[in-house]
Amino acid sequence: LGAVLSHRLSDGSERPIAYASRTLTRTETRYSQIDKEATAIYWGVKRFFQYCYGRKFTLVTDHKPLVTIFHPNKALPTLAATRMFHYSHFLSGFDYDIVYRECTFHGNADYFSRFPLQVRDVDKENVVSTLQLQLINEVPITRRSIAQETLKDNELKIILTKLKEGTVQQLGLDPAEYT
Q: What angle is formed at CA 81 by the lines to CA 78 and CA 85, rounded to 5 degrees?
A: 75
pTM to 2 decimals?
0.61
DSSP letter at 117 equals: -
Is the pLDDT score of 21 beyond 70?
Answer: yes
Residue 32: per-residue pLDDT? 92
Bridge partners (DSSP) listed for residue 19? 4
Which residue, 55, 67, 30, 61, is CA-closest to 43?
61
Strand ranges for 28-105 from DSSP E: 56-61, 95-100
Give Cβ neighbours of residue 118 (< 8 Å, ≥ 6 apart): 23
**Distance between CA atoms of residues 24 and 40, nearest Å:** 10
Q: Which segments of 9-160 are extended strands (E)?
A: 14-21, 56-61, 95-100
Summarised one tens digit per residue, pLDDT across range 37-92 is 999 999 999 999 988 988 899 999 988 999 988 988 887 766 667 888 889 889 98
Residue type present at position 144: R
pLDDT in tens, 118-155: 655 445 555 555 555 556 656 667 778 888 888 899 88
